[in-house]
Amino acid sequence: MFRMIAVVAGMGLALAATAEAETPRKGGTIRMTAPYGSSFTSLDIHTTQRAQDEIYAKALHRSLYIWDSAQGKPVLELAKEDVVSGGGLVHTFKLRDDAYFHNGRKMTADDVIWSYNRIMDGSKAYPGARFVRVIEGAAAVEKGQAKEISGLKKIDDFTIEMKLTDKVDPGFYFFTALTSIYPADEGAKESFIQKPIGLGPFKFVEHVPGSRIVLERWDRFYKPGKPYADKVIVSIMAEAAARDVAFRNKEIDTSVLGPAQYVAYQSDANLKGTIVDVAEVFTRYMGMNTAFKPFADKRVRQAINYAIDTDLIINKLVKGKAYRATSWLPLTSPAYDKSMKPYPYDPAKAKQLLTEAGYASGFEFEWTTSQNESWGLPIVSAVIPMLDKVGIKAKVKQVETAVLAEVVRTGDYQAFIYSQQSGPDPLAALKCFHSSTPQPACNYMNFKNAEFDKILDEAGQADDAAKRTQLLQKANALLYDEAPVWFFNYNKAVMAVQPWLHGIQQNPTELTHQNVEELWVDETSPAK
């Protein structure tokens, strides 16, 4: 009996200790890194779509929705309620009445409407326009045919009505910083770009171009008790080796790891526990131009998938820092089908398919690639001998990443290797293969398949979520069979996080994009 009481008491104490250890601590500085370049593009987040810029923007700004990594979907942020009507096209948002900009002014419906109208200024070509365009009348503003978005109406100071052009989940369109809500009065001023004002948990303090952005706690943030930290410093660190030294030296709290560092950290007992990874919504692939005769034949495209030992490349070259692709939609997509199996490595089957397609003696093609270590030249170099085994010769055409982006849009290629966003919205991701999507948009392979279009259209109209998912999975399976690409991998984003930093979210849209108000540092942090 005493033993039992002791065990129960012990368990109680242990639980209490755990709860205490997990109780967020107030104060301290969070020291994040921005690893994707030598600078931030702009302090006007409406103008930049780089992942680098959204790292600081997640602390400074807020949008109508926010990505909830625990739920794996966007959830309401600046609105408390969304009432859907009009056959799924009309959304009435009840906005928060406790959200204050960093200049102390309360956010109202006018700010939301002003921000979306600004983003649709066609003369500025803001990247967020591709999201706001889903509101009825937004395209007319973009083309200069109207001054205000007709589908956006202010009901009262804290209620707006949004009429959409398609029956989609607006959460997927209004959660990134590209659609951040600006203060209508301040946002129009020239000074805004030097000292931005947002609704986020941290307010702007300082920007040292090419080095860092410093933000401090906004005490009137609308989530009670948050943020926890006093300050956030986002340091620009483009060099992986320099990040590694700084991380080991405890000068930074987070560091993005490349394949080589991923292996090194895994084999180091002191660093292994710092690794956080997630399957990001990016699919790496080799796109095949169907206007090039051999690739017009499905059997040839399938043969390429059979001819490449993809697992070997992922293990040896990408150092296991990727998940094998089983079709287009990635692991973290809500419509991912766990039963899907990747193309097995089967050169004999590849040879057989090539013979059936009339290419028994093979053919030659030009493969355009960048130098990217995870989806560029090193991968192409490893694949070439595998293709050679089944009689296919590949000639490499190496270009810069900026040039590759143009090449794939213009269709000026026979094959290319690329990394493309394939989520988080599965419908939008698969729509890139719809025949109505132009090649320069995102239908880079100029894929056209009537059956695929029909399934996708049905999915778009489906009211029942389960049915929609089922249809999306069917479309994804059809893509697998049609093989417009060599399905290579889904990116495994890997970050090292110091043990004193808590609350990291495994965000599949981009691991470095953290809802900073959830993060906190304990007393062991050097910047406590």
Q: Report the interface residues with another protein, using CB under 8 A.
A: 37-39, 41-44, 47-49, 122-125, 127, 129-130, 133, 193, 208-212, 235-239, 241-242, 245-246, 248-249, 251, 399-403, 405-406, 409, 421, 437-438, 440-442
Residue 380 tokens read as 């192409």
Do 259 and 514 touch, CB atoms closer than 8 A?
Answer: no
Q: Give long-range contacts, CB 8 A cutoff, 24+ apart: 255-258.
A: 255/33, 255/35, 255/495, 255/496, 256/33, 256/35, 256/493, 256/494, 256/495, 256/511, 256/512, 257/321, 257/494, 257/495, 257/496, 258/321, 258/373, 258/374
Closest to another protein by CB, 123 or 361? 123
Instruction: Tell me the backbone φ, ψ of residue 79, rounded to 5 degrees.
Output: -120, 150
Report in angstroms how near the CB of residue 144 gets to another protein at its nearest. Answer: 10
Report in angstroms how near the CB of residue 468 gets to another protein at its nearest. Answer: 21
Closest to another protein by CB, 192 or 363? 192
Q: Rounded to an integer, what distance in angstroms lies between the CA atom of residue 376 and that of residue 399?
A: 10
Report in angstroms how near the CB of residue 372 gets to another protein at its nearest. Answer: 13
Among residues 364, 422, 442, the alpha carbon closest in space to that of 396 is found at 364
98 by Cβ neighbours in 10 Å (0-12 / 13-18 / 19+) ranks as: middle
Report in angstroms how near the CB of residue 283 gets to another protein at its nearest. Answer: 15
Closest to another protein by CB, 73 or 248? 248
Report in angstroms how near the CB of residue 55 gets to another protein at its nearest. Answer: 14
What CA dihedral angle connects 512, 445, 314 and 503, to 10 degrees? 20
Closest to another protein by CB, 273 or 438? 438
Among residues 262, 210, 208, the alpha carbon closest in space to that of 240 is found at 262
Closest to another protein by CB, 421 or 505? 421
Q: Rounded to an integer, what distance in angstroms lies between the CA atom of residue 233 and that of residue 244?
A: 17
Report in angstroms how near the CB of residue 35 gets to another protein at its nearest. Answer: 11
One-letter amino acid of 47: T
Closest to another protein by CB, 93 or 131? 131
Closest to another protein by CB, 59 or 129? 129
Report in angstroms how near the CB of residue 527 gets to another protein at its nearest. Answer: 13
Q: Rounded to an integer, what distance in angstroms lies between the CA atom of residue 353 and that of residue 90?
A: 50
Report in angstroms how near the CB of residue 143 gets to another protein at its nearest. Answer: 8
Closest to another protein by CB, 39 or 266? 39
Q: Is 184 helix (H, G, I), strand (E, B) or coil?
A: helix
Q: Is 388 helix (H, G, I), strand (E, B) or coil?
A: helix
Closest to another protein by CB, 1 or 402? 402
Report in angstroms how near the CB of residue 396 gets to another protein at its nearest. Answer: 17
Which is it for strands 322-324 and 363-369: parallel, antiparallel or unpaired?
Answer: unpaired
Closest to another protein by CB, 84 or 399? 399
Among residues 30, 154, 39, the alpha carbon closest in space to that of 517 is found at 30
Which is it for strands 520-521 and 322-324: parallel, antiparallel or unpaired?
Answer: unpaired
Closest to another protein by CB, 284 or 502? 284
Instruction: Tell me the backbone φ, ψ of residue 175, rounded to 5 degrees.
Output: -110, -15
Do 273 and 501 touch, CB atoms closer than 8 A?
Answer: no
Report in angstroms how near the CB of residue 461 gets to another protein at its nearest. Answer: 20
